[in-house]
Amino acid sequence: MRIICLGAARTVTGSSYLVELDDDRCFLVDCGLFQGSRQLERRNRLNRPYRPTDLAGIFITHAHIDHSGLVPRLVRQGYKGPIYATRPTCELLKILWLDSANIQEFEAEWQSRKNNRLGRESIEPLYTTPDAEAAIGLLHPMELECYEKLIPGVESCFVGAGHILGAASLQLNLESDGGLHSVGFSGDVGRPNQLIVPDPSQMKPVNTLFMETTYGNRSHKSLEDSQAELMEVVHRAYQEGGKVVIPVFAVERSQEIIYTLAAAQRRGELPEDMPVFLDSPLAINATRIFRDHPEYFDEQTQAILAAGETPLNMPNLKFTSSVEESQAINRVMGPAIILAGSGMGNAGRIKHHLKHNLWRPNCHVVIVGFQAKGTTGRLLVDGASKVKIFREDVAVRAKVHTINGFSAHADQPELLKWLEPLAVPGLKVNLMHGEEESTLVFKRLAAERFPQVRFHVPRWNEVIALRPMPKVQRPVEPAALAEQVLALSQRLAALAQRLEEPQAALDPAQAAALEEALQAADQAARAGEAL
């Protein structure tokens, strides 16, 4: 058995793992779109590594496009099997995939027109709306904390991960002739006491773990401090008569900012005449899905609902779905709050609002999420004096604020705390989903904290071999272990003596016996380490 790291290896996008069983059956855990630099995005058009027509299934940990956005591409290439995800994830995927397909079609059409003017060939979109609709038809909603054998020889269980509505970690128990191997995929780990969604649940110990490290090299501000900082920016912009422009991810971050502003409104801290625009059809639809699934909220949010309040609504919140409504925002005089996608400022309606406001000294741009290298948002965070938007240089005179306490990702101390119950002797942890610097910093710290654990940072397309463990895991007494090791040593000694004879050779049965003995010796050694 083996796992191939098809994405999120020393980067934060394209999360995907191809799990190959001993009989050549295979399936995917996540199938994310690569986003950011052109070099990364070229990987989206690679076909062979994903084996779309061979796959027995696809497991999706959560709906974010960097974990799910390449699924319609595989459907376009012939995948027709089941797609497993939690119920809220399935609901969110229905809108995210259709939105992504629309973007793919638009960008392909734009690039084709540009190519044609240069005498070059047109390009096809990664996938189209019919591909996304076909993918939606393959969704199989799953419950949390429920072990099921959806693929023969593969027992799976989704475990709540916090992060966003419906997000889960995934545990797999893989069977082979040689035994079992338990594998965990963290997905994206949420923060304790995060807004709206419950805290991450605890995954059971595994033999091999694939763990995210998006913020493996830093600590976040507290949520309370971040909410207070946001309101300070809002009040300052109101006094200056300027706009607060916030690039937001459609799922979770949009809802968290609305939640914070609605709470301020209930306390009388949000100016009544300061409109709040949610200018993203995708975020609007996602907010409605959130409202429709209060059973997945945390206790604090459910208590607000029980008191008759609306945690995701307020009188001055305006949904702007149409293009005309979006354009009209930039004709609004005076202070306003504008939430628009994309969350990294490099696509969607936020580009128009940045173009209209970045050059204004009384504008405040608030960065509330991770910004990948090469994106407009990252350039603003790094202090760029101008940025290119729609092929036009725009001066940055606005005040740029970075407030990272709203992050839906666990920070370094929170990741270490999440890992601690899993850090049993012999565990191998593959550190994923982080820029290389962040991941390597986390590796050094985690290796010091958990010396009994082996840490590794895979590269793109690296193959991770899985050795089966004994099918029945029972405590091993030292005396019994000593007898087992002695017996194995005698078998190996006999085989070694056989090889010393003139013209010695092993027939297939003897070679198989040697391999079996070596595997058993390795398992015994692992058991000894655990005692």
pLDDT per residue as tens digits for the range 262-290: 999 999 999 999 999 999 999 999 999 99
pLDDT at residue 521 greater than cutoff 90: no
The whole-angstrom separation of Cα 334 and Cα 28 is 50
How far is residue 458 from each of residues 335, 429, 464, measured CA to CA in Å?
48, 10, 8
Task: Name the residue with tokens 């999360």.
Answer: 15
Retrieve residue 221's tokens. Answer: 């501000």
The whole-angstrom separation of Cα 288 and Cα 36 is 28
Q: What is the pLDDT of residues 75-114, one digit of tens each?
A: 999 999 999 999 999 999 999 999 999 989 998 998 899 8
Q: What is the pLDDT of residues 400-421, one digit of tens each?
A: 999 988 989 999 999 999 999 9
Retrieve residue 104's tokens. Answer: 């793919």
> Would you say 93 and 76 are in contact if contact means Cβ atoms under 8 Å apart?
no
Structural element, H or E, at residue 282? helix 281-292
Give the alpha-carbon dihedral of 267, 281, 253, 189, to 10 degrees.
140
pLDDT at residue 471 greater than cutoff 60: no
pTM of the model: 0.82
Strand, coil or helix: 325: helix
- Least confident stretch, 22-31, 106-115, 118-127, 494-503: 494-503
Fold of 2-218+408-465: Metallo-beta-lactamase; Chain A (3.60.15)
The whole-angstrom separation of Cα 247 and Cα 241 is 20
When the candidates are 3.40.50.300, 3.20.20.60, 3.40.50.10890, 3.40.50.720, the CATH number that belongs to 223-406 is 3.40.50.10890
Q: Phi and psi at residue 336, in whole multiples of 5°?
A: -165, 160
> Would you say 288 and 408 are in contact if contact means Cβ atoms under 8 Å apart?
no
pLDDT at residue 510 greater than cutoff 70: no
pLDDT at residue 153 greater than cutoff 60: yes
Q: Does residue 340 or residue 177 have the better pLDDT?
A: 340
Sign of the alpha-carbon dihedral angle for 488, 492, 497, 503: positive
pLDDT at residue 351 greater than cutoff 90: yes
Retrieve residue 526's tokens. Answer: 């692992």
Q: Phi and psi at residue 86, in whole multiples of 5°?
A: -65, 165
